[in-house]
Amino acid sequence: MAASGRLSIAEVQRRVSAVHHGTDPEEQLRFYDGWAPDYEQDVTMLQYQAPRLAASCLASGFQGSVADALVLDVACGTGLVAQELQAKGFRCFHGLDGSQGMLDHARRKGLYQELKQCMLGQEALPAASGFYDAVLIVGALSEGQVPTSVIPELLRVTKPGGFLCLTTRNNSSNLRYKNQMRQLLDDLEQRGLWGKVKVQEVERWERATSEQKAEGDSDYISGVIYLYRKKAP
């Protein structure tokens, strides 16, 4: 433990590496329940930039009034994505997450008009088809977290002409997941269900855990942001 009572960077890296182990979903969510009070301090220490970068990516490609857009933040965690989107002028947010602990922290931000618990990848999203102007999932599509089977559901709840912003990581232990995700994204595009707006590769996504470094990643792992636009039927 660092002298301040806060965890040292090495301790935070050790804690975060537990997220990426292939635990069962219920165990994963219990982990997040316990992590919720420290989540924001820890990810700041790891220089986690995904919420800010995804918000910028969506804002740069979005067409229409951002103040009137209804946004679904999937795997919203403590609400970092809505916070960043608010700084870009977005105002209307709904959030979903499996961890009640993370949702409790998101609720305290006072940014979301609606927050619901949902086991992503195992049940349908609790939303009508074609409901949202924009749907984001940030920091949750990776090995051991939310399965790629959620992606068609994200598309279902987006309005025709609406935008979808998804992130994943490029580190070595996530390559199988990333390739599977890429295949699904391409397949949905070939079927004419959405069109690619932007793919943004980010070199310094966040600091690597010691385990990721041992697997051949550098001090930072890289990541990628995908922005798609749903086609009209």
Ligand X SMILES: C[S@@+](CC[C@H](N)C(=O)[O-])C[C@H]1O[C@@H](n2cnc3c(N)ncnc32)[C@H](O)[C@@H]1O
Task: Give the interface with ligand X as residue ranges (CB under 6 A).
Answer: 25, 28-29, 32, 50-51, 75-77, 80-81, 97-99, 102, 119-121, 138-140, 145-146
CA 197 to mean position of chain CA atoms: 18
CB 225, min distance to ligand X, A: 12
What is the C-alpha to C-alpha distance for residues 182 and 192, in angstroms, rounded to an integer?
16
Q: Which is nearer to ligand X, 77 or 162 (CB)?
A: 77
13 vs 28 by CB, closer to ligand X = 28
Cβ contacts of 73 within 8 Å, gap of 6 or more: 79, 81, 82, 85, 93, 94, 95, 96, 112, 136, 138
Residue 72 near residue 132, CB atoms below 8 Å: yes
- Please report how close the Cβ of residue 123 comes to ligand X at its closest, in angstroms: 9
Least distance CB 134 / ligand X (angstroms): 14
User: Which C-beta is closer to ligand X: that of 37 or that of 161?
Assistant: 37
Least gap, CB of 18 to ligand X (angstroms): 12
Report in angstroms how near the CB of residue 102 gets to ligand X at its nearest.
4
What's the token pair of residue 58? Answer: 């969506």
Largest CA distance in the chain: 59
Q: Which is nearer to ligand X, 107 or 231 (CB)?
A: 107
Select from 80, 94, 77 the least CA-distant residue to 132.
94
Do you know the residue count of the chain?
233
Nearest approach, Cβ of 50 to ligand X (angstroms)?
5
CA neighbor of 136 nearest in space, from 39, 59, 208: 59
Is the Cβ of residue 134 or residue 138 nearer to ligand X in the bound state? 138
Report yes or no: 137 and 74 within 8 Å, Cβ to Cβ: yes
Nearer to ligand X, 144 or 193 (CB): 144
How far apart, in Å, are the Cα atoms of 116 and each of 42, 120, 129, 141, 194?
Answer: 24, 11, 17, 19, 26
